[in-house]
Amino acid sequence: MIEIESWPLFGAPAGTTFTSVALPCSRVAHDLLSDPQVMANLANLEWWVGYDPAHPLPAPSTTMGLKADGQAIFGSGIDLGMPVFDLTARLAEAVQDHLTGYEFIQWPACARHHRIMLPGVYESEAWWTCKGPGLHRVRIGEFAVNEP
């Protein structure tokens, strides 16, 4: 894997190549920062984008993930050509998969039902949805720890 670019959790890619991920990254970053457990366990988070040299650019799927303290902690295939709402939900899902599977953090947790919320798309928007009693949705990028 070859890293092309990295940038702060709350920042934007410096070049023009990856501008399509700026809004999805900022939305997911907001929700990450709303969880003190995530921030306590993972220091100095950054986004990164890379590619596999066996597949020449522009590849239909680029690898994107997070770094903590300068080291990649995960990467996942992301289609940068997706609509912003799909890209936001896919990026949130990739981060959630890592946090749940490797850091043992259930992120984000529904304050009403104490269950993990699932990312998805509904009416062309990216949402966290709780499968507990009653429908509870929070737009990705607007999550708060004390969400009612």
Q: Give residue limits of the domains in the chain.
A: 2-107
Closest CA to 75 of 55, 95, 89, 56: 95
For 120-147, write each residue's pLDDT tens digit.
Answer: 999 999 999 998 787 789 999 998 754 4
Handedness of CA 74, 88, 52, 18 (dihedral sign): negative
Closest CA to 72 of 4, 119, 140, 146: 4
Helices then strands, counting H and E runs in the chain, come out as: 3, 7
Q: Which helix (H) or strand (E) holds 135?
A: none
For range 20-45, the mean pLDDT: 90
For 78-126, write each residue's pLDDT tens digit.
Answer: 888 899 999 999 999 999 999 999 999 999 988 888 889 999 999 999 9
